[in-house]
Amino acid sequence: MHDIPSVNPLLTEWSAPFGLPDFAALQPGHFMPALGEAMRRHLAELDHVAHNLAPPDFDNTVAAIDRAGALLYRIDAVLNNLAASHTSPELQAVQREAAAPLAAHDSAVKMHPAVFARLDAVFRQRQRLTLTPEQQRLLERLHTDAVRAGAQLPPAQQRVYARAMQELAQLSTRFAQNVLADEADFQLVLQGEAELAGLPGFVRAAARQAAAERGLHDGAHVVTLNRSLIEPFLTFSERRDLRETAWRAWVGRGERDGPTDNRQVARRILQLRSQLAQAHGHDCYADYALSDSMAQRQSAVRELLDEVWRRALPAAERERQALLAMMRSHGQEGELAAWDWRYWSEKVRKARFDIDAAEVKPYLSLDRMVEAMVDCARRLFGVRFERRLDVPVYHPDVLAWEMFDAVGQSAGLFLQDNFARQTKRSGAWMSDFNFQSVNRGVARPVIVNNNNFAKGAPGEPTLLSFDDAQTLFHEFGHGLHGLLSRVGYHRLSGTQVLRDFVELPSQLFEHWLSQPEVLRQHARHWQTGEPIPMHLVERLKAAERWGQGYETVSYCGSALVDLDIHAQTGDVADISRFETESLARLGMPAAVGMRHRLCHFQHLFAGSGYASGYYVYLWAEVLDADAFNAFVEAGDPFDKKVAQRLLSHIYAVGDSVAPQTAYTSFRGRLPKLGPLLAKRGLAEEGLPAA
């Protein structure tokens, strides 16, 4: 164990606003000593629970377990946020070094024999105790956590289990760092007008800014593997050869020979997961993972995916035929390749709906869309956000917002980190520095949104595509789920819900972006200030279903391959080959392909949260499409009564209520599939609505 520095800012009082650390004072060398001390204190707190001479009850055992480890949680949250959003070689080394000790500690905590004996004793008498529904839920979740971590396994098997968890933590860290390295390593330099052909001004500006950030000037342009840059490049570039180069780099992350090759890393992760599942009596990891979900069983997930898949394939084929016809009309022969789809799809969309992404983007500046999302939160939930310039942040790009509740009380801090950079992992996500919890004395949560938008050129705004703006709203939906949480116990707070419920608040919030009154008020031209023309909004609405075949097949393919590979009971020697064979068996169109290929599928392998669980976005879309219909039925997207039910039963309750109960309390019934199929345009072509 490292020596503790005489002054370690992670172990002194965090006196910055909202209990944040002094980021400027933090050094990578502070983390291992601080984590070691925090783990020691956590175990001491649990030993105190274990040695309590009083009979185990809710207060002295269950609530005490929930309180323990608060310091470790906060320090680990700082490390995780920095490692994801503003990393360095030194911090990555710390992350690798910390992975195994933290996993070993987690196993020691959940397998603590005396603590689990007390927890189990309370659990066995739970029906005879006078517990509130939230206390009952906490008891059940903590007991489930411990059992799933191996607390009921024989001691020898517990030791094997704990070692496997340590190795998994190290491998997951390595997987994520390999993907980041491949993304940071690639740059496609565009030389001259011939290689810029077809790119509208906003793509050129983003590529010019990316070049400047990499030290290239004098009019240089660079395409990176940042989704907000590479997808527009694939959509507009007239250079098919360059589109192919960019596409192959994008889908090939984690699959190159050398130190960043993730194929064997993923193989070993799958082997260990299979061992863990079998230790719990399950045939495969998919069965183990889904046993603690709303779905419960593979069959329930496959029923949903198969139903949508069979409807999406014909829709994607109709789109492919339209793209081929457009190619032919432009004198292009040959087959449609994966790097062609977005390019020709944009041309069909423009021809059919008179929609051009370059026409829409000037109305979707990042600043205006941030105003829109916080205004929607105000109108729905009565909260308001004010910028805080005195709050320490870990990078100059990060904006701090204080949230005030409906009666004007300070209720949380929202940190927004919107831009791509080489020190940040790809994608978009919500995380926290601390969740709200009465039991831990945390009244004001600190929640973070990360996006990876391509920053505008100096002096110019960052312009978003409509998809980017949806991502902004999506992540803010997660953020609100954390910020609006009002529960008693840390373990039940915010987004710590069952995995196939966590995407409901985020996907539901996306619906407000496309409301005409929201666009009229907030979508304004960045140069003239004029609101987006209503005829353009109408064309956007008309075009919403275009491309849903492609998007649905691409997504479902990833979800089905995820389920397939985690349903294996034997070794998967070559994950790339497995992927190819699975897609062939499904009938995946070659020009569509998976949204995330296995070698860079961080949802699955950079952690276990979405392993066997990538289906959750579609599962949640069934919920969110049905849930938004409550506002449609009320005749007002901001109906106060419906919004209050939404706040009370979905956003504020965390995991203090079982998700089925939470949803039916809001909606009055369980969800129906029909609204999802209608939203995606898949309840057509003679197929009955489910």
Sketch the domain layout of the chain as residue ranges: 17-110+112-148, 186-251, 361-542
Longest pairwise C-alpha distance within the chain: 84
Residue 684 has a pLDDT of 57
Q: By three-state DSSP, how is residue 544 classified?
A: coil
* Residue range 409-457, pLDDT digits in tens: 999 999 999 999 999 998 999 999 999 999 999 999 999 999 999 998 8
Per the CB < 8 A criterion, the answer to whether 200 and 235 are in contact is no
pLDDT of 185 above 50: yes
Per the CB < 8 A criterion, the answer to whether 431 and 57 are in contact is no
What totals of helices (H) and strands (E) does the chain contain, helices first? 28, 7
Residue 3 has a pLDDT of 52
Q: By three-state DSSP, how is residue 175 classified?
A: helix
pLDDT band of residue 276 (cuts 50, 70, 90) is: very high
Catalytic residues, by residue number, are 475
Residue 689 has a pLDDT of 34
Q: Which two tokens stand for residue 308?
A: 């949508």
* Residue range 336-376, pLDDT digits in tens: 999 999 999 999 999 999 988 788 999 999 999 999 999 99
Q: By three-state DSSP, how is residue 189 classified?
A: strand
* Residue range 363-420, pLDDT digits in tens: 999 999 999 999 999 999 999 999 999 999 999 999 999 999 999 999 999 999 999 9
* Residue range 59-96, pLDDT digits in tens: 999 999 999 999 999 999 999 999 999 999 999 999 99
The radius of gyration computed from the CA coordinates of the chain, to the nearest angstrom, equals 25
What class does CATH assign to 361-542?
mainly alpha
Tell me the average pLDDT of the chain. Answer: 95
Residue 482 makes CB contacts below 8 A (sequence gap 6+) with: 412, 430, 432, 435, 436, 445, 447, 493, 494, 495
Residue 453 makes CB contacts below 8 A (sequence gap 6+) with: 228, 366, 418, 419, 420, 462, 464, 468
For residues 562 and 526, give the distance between their C-alpha atoms in angstroms, rounded to a whole number.
42
Second-level CATH architecture of 17-110+112-148: Up-down Bundle (1.20)
134: nearest Cα among 570, 489, 558:
489
pLDDT of 2 above 60: no
Residue 680 has a pLDDT of 87
pLDDT band of residue 686 (cuts 50, 70, 90) is: very low
For residues 220 and 208, give the distance between their C-alpha atoms in angstroms, rounded to a whole number.
6
* Residue range 162-177, pLDDT digits in tens: 999 999 999 999 999 9
From 241-245, 355-359, 392-396, 535-539, the region with the lowest mean pLDDT? 355-359
Residue 690 has a pLDDT of 34
Query: Pseudo-torsion of CA 289, 291, 293, 299, nearest 10°?
Result: 90
pLDDT of 198 above 50: yes
Residue 681 has a pLDDT of 85
Residue 197 has a pLDDT of 97
Q: Is beta strand 446-453 parallel, antiparallel or unpaired with respect to 410-419?
A: parallel
Question: What is the DSSP code string of 469-533?
Answer: HHHHHHHHHHHHHHHT---S-GGGSTT-S-TTTTTHHHHHHHGGGG-HHHHHHH-B-TTT-PBPP
Residue 141 has a pLDDT of 98
pLDDT of 465 above 60: yes
pLDDT of 4 above 60: no
530: nearest Cα among 356, 368, 373:
368
Higher pLDDT pick, 597 / 676: 597
- DSSP, res 437: B
* Amino acid at position 668, single letter: G
Of the chain, the percentage scoring pLDDT greater than 90 comes to 90
pLDDT band of residue 563 (cuts 50, 70, 90) is: very high
Higher pLDDT pick, 623 / 355: 623
Question: What is the DSSP code string of 357-417?
Answer: HHHHGGG-BHHHHHHHHHHHHHHHH--EEEE-SSS--SSTT-EEEEEE-TTS-EEEEEEEE
Residue 1 has a pLDDT of 44
pLDDT of 497 above 60: yes
Residue 219 has a pLDDT of 85
Residue 688 has a pLDDT of 35
Mean pLDDT over residues 173-199, rounded?
Answer: 95
The position carrying tokens 């004029």 is 530
Residue 470 has a pLDDT of 96
Per the CB < 8 A criterion, the answer to whether 415 and 447 are in contact is yes
Residue 687 has a pLDDT of 36
Residue 659 has a pLDDT of 95
Burial of 395 (0-12, 13-18, 19+ CB in 10 A): middle
